[in-house]
Structure 1
Amino acid sequence: MNILIVHNYYQIPGGEDTVVANEKKLLEDYGHKVILYSRNNSELNQMPFFRKLGLPVTTVFNPRTYMDIRGIIKKRKIEIVHVHNTLNLISPSAYYAALSRDVPVVQTIHNFRMLCPGATFYRDGHICEDCVEKGLRCAVKYGCYRESRLQTLACVISMKLHRMTGIYKRLNYICLTEFNKEKLLKLRQIEENRVYVKPNFTFDMEEEKAIGEFYLYIGRIEEIKGVPLLVEAFSRMPDKKLVLAGTGRGFQPYQEAVAGRGLINIEFKGFMEKESLAELLRYAKAVIVTSQWYETFGMIIVEAFAGHTPVIAGDIGNIGDLVEDGVDGLKFQYNSPDALVEAVERFEQLDAVALGENAYRKYEERFSPDGNYKSMKAIYEGISGGGTGRWDCRSFKNGR
């Protein structure tokens, strides 16, 4: 197959970018011709003021994207368009361009943006599904997208317009878990027989696990990721070292707060390249995941498992589903620093090597490249008419 991958990068790199890179490489390894059409929101920083004025319009429908994708489909004889993210610069015009060329579209659901303008079902420090239960006006009221009512309004207008056109009925969807599928189907325009369940995967780290020296957090440095809870917990464990790798809006404030409190056991590494992160994983006792929202998968957990590293995870949404307590890691009450302290102390009494080996076995069984490719190929064939019918995704329930 000739496959077009469409992805709009955010200014701060995240798990979606890793998934795009992994899937592109995997498809190419199996002989597919893969073209990547991408934009990066960092372009906004250099954009002239008069063009920024047009963003509310191009966020809804970008004519450049429409023409670009139509041209690529024709020139490269594209058979499948696989969309990952369209916000802000690509826009949903990617869907219309593909369908205007009679090419099927599959959208991977990396977040909850089709139901929640903020994309996270999280507001003011707690889980919130008001937009599903009471309508999208709730998001505008609270400025859920980038803490701006105006930008949130633009998102809401876009969502409502595309719901009105019926475009979502004509797309196919890949959800990463059954939990996400259940949420997505609350958008009544989407038909269940167009929704597939396929987890993310990662490549084997292929590095020998070293003796653990510290606990490791990898991700955005933000409240929604539970960084305040993480810092508070380790402030109570001065004899245990915590390393945080990543950046985000809260990076400098949290770093300064930690320095101000004299917490020398907590170290912020900032943004790190993939190779450096892999080296950190080698020497980590465990990866800690403290997300305060459902998450749509938890890519770092799978990457930890691929590196023989157990995970200590908050028991919420998809994060809690990926970790089996006492087998490949531990779970704790996601919003309690006390519970995290107890989990770390419990972890210290367990056989970390055995937990890591169990984690690696789970990776091989559920999240390795070969099995994932078979699932992806079946989805592509199912939606393009090249297969025998709809793929039975029941074997992948809860990430299996």
Structure 2
Amino acid sequence: MEKQKLRILQVHNAYQIPGGEDVVVANEKKLLEMYGNEVITYSRNNTEINEMNAVQKLLIPFSAVYSFKTYREVKKIIRENHIDVVHVHNTLMMVSPSVFYAAFDCKVPVVQTLHNFRMLCPAGSYFRGDRICEECSEKGLQCSLKYGCYRNSKAQTFVSAAILKIHRMLGTYRKVNFICLTEFNKEKLSKLNKGAKKIIDMDKVYIKPNFTFQETAPEEPHTELDYFLFVGRVEALKGIDVVVKAFEKLPDQRLIVAGDGPMMDEMKTYIREHHIQNIEFAGYLNKTQVQEKYRGARAVIMASQCYEAFAMTIAEAYSNAVPVIAGNVGNLAKMVEDNKTGIKFVYDSPDDLADKIRTYNQMDIGKMKQNAKAFYEKRLRPEDNYRILEDIYHKIIGNK
């Protein structure tokens, strides 16, 4: 029997620099509306900070913990639109966890998708300096203050840590339903309950991966797959230096880097000083341009130096029948089936990446392209994702 269509309030706080979360939120709204649901959006943006006066900026640490503006506005939307479920994505910094209290007071179930690891790590990435770091999970949030983990700022890290600490103490998170993108992420989240006090209710934690809409393939597909492709921000977190140093050892293999970021100048200087001729920095590409690059790639290289909450690049590669060469770490290791949809390497080793690329070139790439597409068809299609999300909504509505 077809389930009742719902009125969903989608809540999202955009960062000052747009990122993958914004794409996921937009995709999910489009998907819900495709199936006849009504989606009302409440969005705020951290660029609001730029318009504030000095006094307002001083109050940010307090409003980030609890925003009366968000509370009033969300409560009004819920009541006027007879909202069935509130779906929260990001709350940092302007929305704040006050959105949960607006839902609680209106007796409407609320669920948050966890797009990163910020429930356990104020930086959200489990990454510090040049390595994976889980000190805040193991020793407490005060570790982040010592290092200034969030945006290399002790002041901003204090705010991020304070939000977590205060709402853990208040029991806010025990009342919220959560969506984790993978089993790996759910297992990490469960570490919040290691003490005597239960921070979250694991019975209210669900798993739903991200998805990607499959783009229409061109009439004339590429027949020569003559390059490897890196898609992402040009920064240490994404392992761009690992990839560049690997291709330095492979002068006969071509690499295209699609993306921009803080290490762009450093990497361009590196390849110039080392006389590297086989790496092309294409810069930022729009969606159509990136799709074109996917279709001509032998494989996509994923060298993230962190766990990655969910690797959208892998989902996009698979939707285009492109295998992936990925670091054997975190969720990357879970999304790549070794010698089937791609091949895995020691995530922080340029030498091993170079070796694995040589190995990959001896494999049946045609068969691996078929496997990559099959992975997408089995796990990452939007229609299947909708059924999972629909079931979650109706379950939490029934449990309210």
Q: Which residue number in structure 2 is paired with residue 271 of structure 1? A: 284
Q: Deviations over 1:155-187 (max 9, x none)?
A: 111111111111100000111111111111111
Aligned pair 1:220/2:220, yes or no? Answer: no
Q: Deviations over 1:114-150 (max 9, x none)?
A: 1111111122322211111111111101111111112
Q: CA deviation at 1:302?
A: 0.8
Unaligned runs of 5+ in 1: 391-400
Q: Which of these residues, 75, 79, 85, is aligned with residue 84 of structure 2?
A: 79
Unaligned runs of 5+ in 2: 1-5, 194-198
The residue identity in structure 1 corresponding to 2:204 is R
Aligned pair 1:203/2:208, yes or no? Answer: no
Aligned pair 1:182/2:187, yes or no? Answer: yes
Aligned-pair Cα RMSD in Å: 1.7
The residue identity in structure 2 corresponding to 1:194 is K
Partners of 1:12 and 1:247 within 8 A in 2: no
Aligned pair 1:371/2:384, yes or no? Answer: yes
Q: Which residue number in structure 1 is paired with residue 37 of structure 2? A: 32
Counterparts in 2 of 1:1-400, with a 5 A limit? 1-188=6-193, 189-208=199-218, 209-210=221-222, 211-385=224-398
For 2:28 and 2:117, locate their aligned partners in 1 and report how far apart those are by CA, in whole Å.
21
For 2:226 and 2:72, locate their aligned partners in 1 and report how far apart those are by CA, in whole Å.
52
Partners of 2:175 and 2:201 within 8 A in 1: no
Relative to 1, partners in 2 of residues 1:311 and 1:148: Cα closer, same or farther, differing over 3 Å? same
For 2:45 and 2:264, locate their aligned partners in 1 and report how far apart those are by CA, in whole Å.
21
Relative to 1, partners in 2 of residues 1:248 and 1:86: Cα closer, same or farther, differing over 3 Å? farther
Partners of 1:301 and 1:322 within 8 A in 2: yes
Q: CA deviation at 1:46?
A: 4.4
User: What secondary structure does 2:89 align onto?
Assistant: strand
Q: TM-score, normalised by structure 2?
A: 0.93
The residue identity in structure 1 corresponding to 2:213 is F
User: What secondary structure does 2:369 align onto?
Assistant: helix
User: What secondary structure does 2:192 align onto?
Assistant: coil
State the identity %. Answer: 48
For 2:277 and 2:65, locate their aligned partners in 1 and report how far apart those are by CA, in whole Å.
47
Q: Deviations over 1:241-268 (max 9, x none)?
A: 2112222332333333333433332222
Partners of 1:226 and 1:290 within 8 A in 2: yes
Q: CA deviation at 1:229?
A: 0.6
Relative to 1, partners in 2 of residues 1:255 and 1:41: Cα closer, same or farther, differing over 3 Å? farther
| Number of equivalences | 387
Partners of 2:181 and 2:207 within 8 A in 1: yes
Q: Which runs of 4+ in 1 moved over 4 A?
A: none
The residue identity in structure 2 corresponding to 1:131 is C
Q: Deviations over 1:302-335 (max 9, x none)?
A: 1100011110000001101110111111111111
Q: TM-score, normalised by structure 1?
A: 0.93
Deviates more, 1:309-318 or 1:344-353: 344-353
Q: Deviations over 1:268-294 (max 9, x none)?
A: 222222222111111111111001111
Relative to 1, partners in 2 of residues 1:179 and 1:69: Cα closer, same or farther, differing over 3 Å? same
